[in-house]
Chain A
């Protein structure tokens, strides 16, 4: 059977499945449990005490199934004031307003998200302008840096995500810097998903100046790639590092993860 013929046949699938796919998915039960867990921690521990005594990220759900594995993390982060951001970044709000204004209900692109590529992470940090941001003082070559800004229909910036990628031999590194503003009303969560059965081992660590951080080791996938994920919160900023590596590079990957944590 020709693929075109099969595609035509797929065009005739039950209309219920098409309308279902046209509808934006609701947050999963796991996310709602994460929110509940985060609220509970706030209620029981109190913001100041908990934030001062932890790395600011803790696991609320961890699961390993045949088709999907992953974990959710609740975050304890102080939201930053948008006034501390650079004027050029705050001006992105007007772009987001325009996105919402020109958006059509069935557009494939969602309004409220703006991306910009930079030649370096330092350039992107200058663009963001927030003094709390810490640059990674390590001698790895950056392969790409991408900034993402999310905002409301009335142009209020809600979150700023910066990703910088590196490669060291066969090891792939993705370093993330995430800020949430006073306008962010969603769940402060993050996590990881994989489409196969892998296991995760979280451990609490401290860096060379005693700052706590969370390390999650992922067992190798079928492709042979294993993962290390580090989470550290400092001055209202979430720093994440994802490392994908092959078994032969396990020791070097661990070393890179600890180098990253010691940058703070």
Chain B
């Protein structure tokens, strides 16, 4: 079913919307959640929450790109679940490696000095992404948004794993520099 039609079903509160979205995007969303949570069972539970979240979000939202919208909901739900599990186990649950790598961009502390405007920061990140070549942007997004492993990214872009690792490290350094130069204290 076309994305517009699925969104329309959500919009008119037709419960067939959930079945249609699940048929079209279940494996996409499970793949995202699995990379964050590390388990197919947990990922499938998480994606069940995605359909409910989409039901609650549309309307008022009317997503232009349904895959990205559902993927974003899944990603947030999975990250929240990871955080909850982490808290319950008092640090017993490991965070995914791509998440740990973000500590190279931000301080990873909750200090009061960290000052930023969320919307402005997001605009700056989008501007930085917009200045990259499509390949470098893809590598960064696959790692930091989709939580792909380095070997998966290397296979996707026909690169050596070492080249992908080095590229990612440089991109993180470059993003930190870019944001710092624009006054974001992270």
Contact = CB atoms under 8 A, between A and B. Distances in A.
A108 B173 CA distance: 26
Interface of A: 1-22, 24-25, 67, 104-110, 113, 192-196
Nearest to A222: B166
A12 B141 CA distance: 11
A21 B72 CA distance: 14
A1 B100 CA distance: 13
B172 to A, nearest CB: 11
B79 A8 contact: yes
Given A21-B138, A193-B159, A193-B160, A7 B102 contact: yes
Contacts of A106: 25, 27-28, 31
Interface in B127-148: 129-130, 134-138, 141-142, 144-146, 148
B170 to A, nearest CB: 7
B75 A17 contact: no
A20 B122 contact: no
26 contacts: A1-B107, A3-B103, A3-B108, A6-B186, A7-B102, A8-B79, A9-B122, A10-B102, A10-B145, A11-B75, A11-B79, A11-B145, A13-B129, A16-B65, A17-B129, A18-B71, A18-B145, A19-B68, A21-B142, A21-B146, A25-B156, A25-B158, A105-B27, A107-B31, A108-B146, A110-B155
Contacts of B64: 15
B58 interface: no
Contact of A25 (B83, B138, B144): B138
Contacts of A7: 79, 99, 102, 144
Interface residues of B, number: 60
A12 B72 contact: yes
Nearest to B72: A11
A192 B109 CA distance: 40
B121 A21 contact: no
A65 B21 CA distance: 44
A25 B63 CA distance: 24
Interface in B63-106: 63-65, 67-69, 71-72, 75-76, 79, 83, 95, 99-100, 102-103, 105-106
Contacts of A6: 102, 105-106, 186
B179 to A, nearest CB: 10
B114 interface: yes
Contacts of B163: 193-195
B79 A19 contact: no
B166 to A, nearest CB: 4
Nearest to A24: B156
Given A12-B122, A15-B64, A105 B108 contact: no
Contact of A21 (B25, B35, B108, B145): B145
A18 B28 contact: no
B76 A11 contact: yes
A187 B145 CA distance: 32
B114 A18 contact: no
B117 to A, nearest CB: 11
B125 interface: yes
